[in-house]
Amino acid sequence: MVERMTLADLNQVGQRASIVEVAGDDAVAVRLMEMGLTDGEEVTVIGFAPLGDPIEYSIRGYRLSLRKTEASRVSVTLLSN
């Protein structure tokens, strides 16, 4: 069985993952989807802020910053490098 993983679990620069889904139908979830985090999309970790939060990602060719609480709303599967 594959363990359920979220974007917030990625802890290394350069890690890549494929989005499974964004949970919920509230403003945060919709905003994440509108920014292009839809199922099947690939995300790469670019860097972490000094206190480990927020996190910079690369998605659809641009750079996006998310807080850990928001990143944990996005379930993903890890892609091998």
- Separation of alpha carbons 2 and 33, rounded Å: 24
Return the residues of window 5-44 that contact another protein according to CB under 8 A: 16, 21-22, 25-36, 38-39, 42, 44
Task: Give me the least distance between CB of 4 and another protein, in Å please.
Answer: 18
Least CB distance to another protein at residue 19 (A): 11
Contact with another protein (CB under 8 A) among 6, 54, 72, 75: 54
Which of 5, 56, 72, 75 touches another protein (CB under 8 A)?
Answer: 56
Q: Is 34 helix (H, G, I), strand (E, B) or coil?
A: helix
Q: Which residues sit opposite 55 in a β-bridge?
A: 48, 66
78: DSSP letter: E
